Amino acid sequence: MRVNVSALITTKYQCAFWFWLWVWGVLGSTVALVAQEPALTRVPAAQSQQPVVRERLRLWEFHVHDPWILPHEETRTYYLYTAGRPELLSTNRAGVVTYKSKDMKDWAGPYVVFMVPDGIWANPTEGAWAPEVHRYNGRFYLFVTLHNSERIIDRPPDAWRITHWRGTTIAVADSPEGPFVVLKTNAPVPPAEFMSLDGTLYIEDGVPWMVYAHEWVQIIDGTMEAIPLKPDLSDAAGAPIHLFKASDAPWINAQRKPSKRENRYVTDGPELFRTKTGQLLMLWSSYDKDGYVQTVARSKSGKLAGPWEQLEPLVRGDSGHGMLFRTFEGQLMLVLHHPFGRNARAKLYDIEDMGDNLRVIRARDDLHGQPKTD
């Protein structure tokens, strides 16, 4: 039998060529995936270490600003989320921490659940505000406001002041303790040309929405707005809608006096709540002459689109950015921070659902109050 050596050699080299071409394609795809996914959410190891966890902390012993409490039924644990301060994290990288408690009296923490990663739209050193963790479709979603002061939106004379990228980002985890991974990496979820903050999750007729505050810094009279989300919360699914503006609150206008200073109408910290009679309320915060205020709005239609009417404030005295939750025993409670600023602490209140409004039953000094000394 005669063997065509030339044909064998040609076939051999063709096989080798196609084999190495396949290997190169596999390696290339792997490298691309590694570069595309982990790099976008990677935090340098030296900057991702957990701070020292302290046990049996009382609420008056640690800083909390823009508090959010998630009751986790399976473990009967309350998770209190707040921004991680640089001195707490021992790094200039911003993040989110949580404190854990079984009874809301003794807390343990802080535990880092999120650090702003490299490779996304936000500057990792410029803060992580107003973190909220929502359970949705079996997973846990972090809503957090990030910033990038180098991405300018407008500057004078085209605007009354310089504005830059600020908005809410959504990250996901399989546990309330994280680690949370950013879903949309190239921009915040609300329109990037809007300077916005404090996004929260609301579900209406099966459709997820982000309700957020549009900054007075950009539009002078701050507004509440909402934008529909994709079912997996990975991005917006439509255009935003207007809900109301800060100056709609009659108690704000009643305190205004003629002045040469510009009026600042602030909207902060929205959270939606459906009452026992089906009324739709929104907790939100602004300012009166004495400082920060926790107030309430009510939808006349019972729908997110409103129209919205403004009710009297729930808590005054430089207190606000609150949210409602139920204890494992079923008591409706409010957590907010007081005072505004670097000395802020979490304060707890028992709340009554009155059907068309909310009422403070009592401040829980037994949980948040500092022991009295003789």
pLDDT tens digit string along 173-226? 999 999 999 999 999 999 999 999 999 999 999 999 999 999 999 999 999 999
Q: Which stretch of DSSP H or E encloses residue 182?
A: strand 181-182
Helix and strand element counts for the chain (H, E) = 5, 21
The pLDDT of residue 102 is 98
Range with lowest mean pLDDT among 19-23, 271-275, 287-291, 324-328: 19-23
In a domain, 324, yes or no: yes
Tokens of 108: 């343990």
Q: Is residue 28 located within the same domain as residue 90?
A: no
Q: Is residue 22 located within the same domain as residue 167?
A: no
**pLDDT (mean) for 129-142:** 98
In a domain, 222, yes or no: yes
In a domain, 304, yes or no: yes
Cα dihedral 273/276/277/280 (nearest 10): 0
In a domain, 49, yes or no: no
The pLDDT of residue 69 is 98
The pLDDT of residue 372 is 61
Instruction: Concatenate the DSSP letters of all residues of 308-324 into one string.
Output: EEEPPPSB-SS-EEEEE
Q: Is residue 74 located within the same domain as residue 31?
A: no
The pLDDT of residue 43 is 56
In a domain, 205, yes or no: yes
Q: Is residue 91 located within the same domain as residue 158?
A: yes
Q: Is residue 30 located within the same domain as residue 61?
A: no
The pLDDT of residue 46 is 42
Average pLDDT over the chain, rounded to whole?
88
Per the listing, tokens 């595309």 go with: 36
- pLDDT of 374 over the 60 cut: no
Q: Is residue 31 located within the same domain as residue 159?
A: no
Structural domain total, the chain:
2
**pLDDT (mean) for 100-119:** 97
**pLDDT (mean) for 160-170:** 97
**pLDDT (mean) for 19-35:** 39
The pLDDT of residue 245 is 98
pTM of the model: 0.87
Q: Which domain holds residue 2?
A: 1-36
In a domain, 45, yes or no: no
- Establish whether the linkage from the previous residue to 110 is cis, with ω within 30° of 0: yes
Q: What is the pLDDT confidence band of residue 86, given thresholds at 50, 70 and 90?
A: confident
The pLDDT of residue 221 is 96
Q: What is the pLDDT confidence band of residue 50, given thresholds at 50, 70 and 90?
A: confident
Q: Which stretch of DSSP H or E encloses residue 363?
A: strand 358-363
The pLDDT of residue 136 is 98
Report the percentage of the chain scoring pLDDT > 70: 86
CATH of the domain at 342: 2.115.10.20
Per the CB < 8 A criterion, the answer to whether 173 and 204 are in contact is no
**Closest-CA residue to 120 (of 193, 36, 46):** 36
71 vs 109: CA distance, rounded Å: 16
- pLDDT of 264 over the 90 cut: no
Beta pairing partners, 338: 345
The pLDDT of residue 206 is 97
Per the CB < 8 A criterion, the answer to whether 100 and 110 are in contact is no
The pLDDT of residue 42 is 54
Q: Is residue 83 located within the same domain as residue 187?
A: yes
The pLDDT of residue 44 is 53
Q: Is residue 70 located within the same domain as residue 216?
A: yes
The pLDDT of residue 297 is 98
Q: Is residue 21 located within the same domain as residue 162?
A: no
Determine how many CB atoms are found less than 10 A away from the CB of residue 174: 11
In a domain, 245, yes or no: yes
Beta pairing partners, 70: 79
Q: Is residue 65 located within the same domain as residue 13?
A: no
The pLDDT of residue 9 is 35
Q: Is residue 83 located within the same domain as residue 25?
A: no
Tokens of 230: 């994709």
**pLDDT (mean) for 38-66:** 75
Q: Is residue 6 located within the same domain as residue 138?
A: no
Q: What is the pLDDT confidence band of residue 8, given thresholds at 50, 70 and 90?
A: very low
**pLDDT (mean) for 157-162:** 95
DSSP secondary structure letter of residue 161 = S
Phi, psi of 221 (to 5 degrees): -100, 95
In a domain, 217, yes or no: yes
